[in-house]
Structure 1
């Protein structure tokens, strides 16, 4: 009989998740329990409680394994049976031993899964003191829960479970409440179940398909092939329309894997098995749900007294669950949804004659559910992820205008719309890149509410140029973490995710006037709220935990030590009306020639130009900047009208840079900071006008390249550029050539205006940059690596330059 199939070889995958069976019996008699009601009955021969020698050996083995493999993250769960039957002292002692043993190596995540009937204040105090998160199993309201979850004498367990959950939802114990676990029964009404669970305002919900396989398939009414998907879809649609008030991990995992992320649940997704079970007698076993397939399915022949976790990790049954997509049935590997489904839960694939080399017995359900969620999410126009950015078509008229180097208001608006869509997608991707903690979820919910009630407030914050920088930096770190980069931990990513989402929600809430309450951290460098300003602790402390509350026209930031800042807020910004221990520096913003511009000298993510940003400006320095910008924009508007729509429509922020010691001009743009120009203060507005023309060209082309492909990205050749000594990649040459159209045109204009004629410096500069740009266009056209659209853009550039001569 074919039990396990796998490809041999390769290093072991160390265990990061441990389940410790602290008690082998239960005070309930749930009729669907895989431990007591399914094929494997080995529980009958186990001791009731994990003994002291077993506890000591287990803790020592975990420490050795974690230390040997330098694991950054370790999760240890206390399970049963019903783990609370083990008693207060055993559970507290085990937690103390685990934390003490791993001190200085890593901080373990401790959790316990209980039916809740035995929860009391003493248990909750232990969990609170030891940092043990508590999950409770509940299948819905009384009727739904009592369909399966009864005491052995047939008595309801619902009231006892609710009493336990009520303890966890109290203010004192809420921090240790991790969520509710519900096993699906399609006889129950899905919306009733959802609403019953939602009444507890859970931190998260797990919806579990009942354990079944091809030998013992799940019940289906009248042969309905997708009744479990249909049941779940009812809940998903309601949850989605409620703006996802709490995570439902199955749904979140489908969304995450659809975006290329990893699954947060074992039931779906492709990921290596990193879990091992220690029974009450010290036996090392595979995951418990295997006991629903056949007698001995979870057996390894190893125990914690005599064997290491490395030996368990090398067991063929465990290795069989670590082969990723290649270890799935051929039918699964060929499925377009395999990245999200991952073949389903391992035990659900079992069939006697073929072992686990089959699709899930819930295959049709999973396929329909995943397809439905992907379509629903793609169609959702709120701040939610999409499998690809919604791209508005670039018409031939717009392409021709932009190709020529110009672009009227409609062309610029098309670019801005595409950037707005991209920014929303990136922020949504941040939320779904890693499992969110409660504060990040709270911020996400606030963002969705703001987007519905006052979308302009959120749009203004998301349009802040360095929000995208922050989001792309985070997503790059998350991608590196998924590939095994140990420089960023999972907890570190969650901290960065929380920080980003909270400051966005705080700024958007303050601008919109929508009632918002959020937890914040004010670091030593200050708390920066995009588009509004920065709050700094007056006494120079390292950091302070604080809360931000906003309502119509007012925002208050209150630190834990009683320091307080009250702001008058709205769509126009934020002004301090009272500060006690917290200083407020508002973002400097002004409308110049109809263009609203911010002087961004305090955003911590502004260092994207390859040149050092300046220190925060003094009032006198800021005043000089406004004088320069006033005159520079007047020059652009009056002397270069064909570029004005681009400058006026795109420029939203100036980030001052430090001047170079050699006096060279310093300016730059970033593809990830649309709307911002970094520039060092110049001696005259003429030079600033030239630099702005040059940099806005980069911004236009970068935005265009975000929505259309202009060149073959596989072209790794380097090309000469007349304005640089080094060779340039094709994209760099394209960017430089396009930007220098405006530079040549600037000097062409000044040459025509010069009384000295062709010998004047302006004429020489014009000829220099015209020829350099013309050469760049010839190189681009001759490269053979432009797309059809890219070639059209290059030919339009050529028509502009040749039109001058």
Structure 2
């Protein structure tokens, strides 16, 4: 209850608890809706505590909330809603962006900063939440809410457009027997009977309902809530009716795939996913994101392929589930150092980010594995499964012994490992498996080139050894120690174009789309097109030409290693794929020296004879 206080010492708040059996089930990607509902209950309490704390601290200083009423009046309205229609309050508390708002505004207050709007606008969003709850409850009320560039938001319902010249202003919301209206001095907007519908001056939040047999998924397509973004409040970005129907069509297809191939995951996902924030199409990719404060929300770019969207939904659902778990248990100590390789990121990551990545891509591999098992001719599914299972396994091997893990963290990763390890022996068609190996090697080589810095002394001795015409160094430098601490500052650009091309080639209508659109993939070169088309000799020639023009190019260095490895494994490809940062550093040291500059390929072939 948020409306009751008691002095009775016998009345105690219950602690949120998660059984180890539930914890283990979540780690394995299992457990059904039971553990997820426990995470939801804990999330509700967390939001309620943040909300109450904001009300208490801000109410003490009128300067923090003026020109709006005291936040205490919003709390009182929420208490009235709880008494009249408890489910209306629960809907607002469960709204993902209530969590985003509460966390963001709390940080602004604690750090004494303004944010993208004046602080009173941010803290005043509590009146928007209370008004939306009252509308849902159908109770009479009147309150004032902030207006941002003419937009007045009622979370979970929609947004009104008011006439105003001020960037930030105040509007009155009134609800009663004759309906709900939002007004300022210049305009009045009346909500329709069903607020999800559009009306003059009013944009309702659309819902989509997907069915597959008896399985039902209902989610909001939220393009209006100001706190739906990842980091800062953002203005509305309204979808057109055609775009809405396109989203509904591809969501129907994605839900059907999940219900058919991962029914247990689908049954749990429908409890954990409330809202999708639709983002514009990103050519040749389907990026997605989420935040631990917005439990139940996924930010997803539009794509036409239902299978790729289904994988993205599982990906973000795993992030959502882990985000809720991390509000109850610590899997690692605070360690912000950007020091670990993550096969799904271009930059070094802190331990917390790697844990999230492991769990999210474990979910991605789970989906593609199920699809590949039932559709043997689905080359993209086979490729994605082979790639993601290897990436997760490789990262688990590195991280499981990390000093930053807690006992719970090690137990969690043990649960993931128990699921992933048996997958390594499952058969995958030779073509997709080979392409997955190339994609993994490509990513790792390019990451090493850009983020690892060889020891300058080692580089200098190797350069001197080359100039002396020796087959290998005479000193202890021959052991060539690995650089262990990556730098977050990249040395060179890289866009992972070859993997994008592989996905294009293996996806729907792959051959035709690859021929027609391959050259439009961002960062793709003619050499990349040759490589993905299965012409390694032409690809190698193309990469040599690129390196002659720019011997520091990370994509060309890794690409030459891949093209040579596609024909046969040898010292040159081995050095370019496993120690490329050393190849580039030695080549840099030798440029312009006596006798001219050797080729990158010559340096790689020499180093590859005594590196591993």
TM-score, reference length from structure 2:
0.62
Cα deviation for residue 607 of structure 1 reads 2.3
Q: How has the CA–CA distance of structure 1 residues 242 and 454 changed in structure 2, closer, same or farther, with 3 Å as cutoff?
A: closer
Cα deviation for residue 784 of structure 1 reads 3.1
**Which residue number in structure 2 is paired with residue 405 of structure 1?**
29
Match of 1:606 among 228, 249, 257: 228
Distance 2:156 2:293 in 1: 17
**SS state of the match for residue 608, structure 1?**
coil
1:415 matched to 2:36? The reply is no
Contact 1:614 1:658 in 2 (8 A): no
1:595 matched to 2:217? The reply is yes
1:551 matched to 2:551? The reply is no
Distance 1:755 1:642 in 2: 22
**Which residue number in structure 1 is paired with residue 306 of structure 2?**
685
**SS state of the match for residue 122, structure 2?**
helix
Q: How has the CA–CA distance of structure 1 residues 694 and 510 changed in structure 2, closer, same or farther, with 3 Å as cutoff?
A: same
Q: How many residues align?
A: 413
> How do 1:351-366 residues align onto structure 2 when only pairs under 5 Å count?
none
Distance 1:712 1:695 in 2: 23
**SS state of the match for residue 224, structure 2?**
coil
Please give the root-mean-square deviation of Cα atoms over the aligned residues, in Å.
3.2
**Which residue number in structure 1 is paired with residue 273 of structure 2?**
651
Distance 1:445 1:463 in 2: 19
Distance 1:688 1:738 in 2: 18
Q: How has the CA–CA distance of structure 1 residues 465 and 552 changed in structure 2, closer, same or farther, with 3 Å as cutoff?
A: farther
Q: How has the CA–CA distance of structure 1 residues 710 and 458 changed in structure 2, closer, same or farther, with 3 Å as cutoff?
A: same
Cα deviation for residue 734 of structure 1 reads 0.7
**Which residue number in structure 1 is paired with residue 140 of structure 2?**
515
Contact 1:566 1:576 in 2 (8 A): no
Distance 2:206 2:312 in 1: 21
Cα deviation for residue 634 of structure 1 reads 1.2
Distance 2:166 2:236 in 1: 24
Contact 1:598 1:652 in 2 (8 A): yes
Distance 2:120 2:164 in 1: 29
**Which residue number in structure 2 is paired with residue 468 of structure 1?**
99
Match of 1:768 among 371, 387, 391: 387
Contact 1:574 1:586 in 2 (8 A): yes
Cα deviation for residue 711 of structure 1 reads 1.3
**Which residue number in structure 2 is paired with residue 627 of structure 1?**
249
More helix by share: 2
Which runs of 5 or more residues in structure 1 are unaligned?
1-239, 245-371, 382-389
**Which residue number in structure 1 is paired with residue 126 of structure 2?**
501
Q: How has the CA–CA distance of structure 1 residues 651 and 446 changed in structure 2, closer, same or farther, with 3 Å as cutoff?
A: same
**SS state of the match for residue 718, structure 1?**
coil
Q: How has the CA–CA distance of structure 1 residues 622 and 791 changed in structure 2, closer, same or farther, with 3 Å as cutoff?
A: same
Q: How has the CA–CA distance of structure 1 residues 755 and 707 changed in structure 2, closer, same or farther, with 3 Å as cutoff?
A: closer
**SS state of the match for residue 595, structure 1?**
strand
Cα deviation for residue 524 of structure 1 reads 2.5
Match of 1:567 among 173, 191, 211: 191
Q: How has the CA–CA distance of structure 1 residues 575 and 771 changed in structure 2, closer, same or farther, with 3 Å as cutoff?
A: closer
**SS state of the match for residue 458, structure 1?**
helix
1:667 matched to 2:288? The reply is yes
Q: How has the CA–CA distance of structure 1 residues 574 and 689 changed in structure 2, closer, same or farther, with 3 Å as cutoff?
A: closer
TM-score, reference length from structure 1:
0.48
Distance 2:234 2:168 in 1: 25
Distance 1:536 1:614 in 2: 11
Contact 1:531 1:573 in 2 (8 A): no
Q: How has the CA–CA distance of structure 1 residues 380 and 547 changed in structure 2, closer, same or farther, with 3 Å as cutoff?
A: farther
Contact 1:694 1:739 in 2 (8 A): yes
**Which residue number in structure 1 is paired with residue 501 of structure 2?**
none
**SS state of the match for residue 778, structure 1?**
helix
**Which residue number in structure 2 is paired with residue 432 of structure 1?**
56
Cα deviation for residue 653 of structure 1 reads 0.6
> How do 1:778-789 residues align onto structure 2 when only pairs under 5 Å count?
778-789=397-408
**Which residue number in structure 2 is paired with residue 802 of structure 1?**
421
**Which residue number in structure 2 is paired with residue 752 of structure 1?**
373
**SS state of the match for residue 620, structure 1?**
helix
Q: Deviations over 1:526-572 (max 9, x none)?
A: 101100100002587756643212236832223234x3333355xx7
Which runs of 5 or more residues in structure 2 are unaligned?
63-68, 426-612
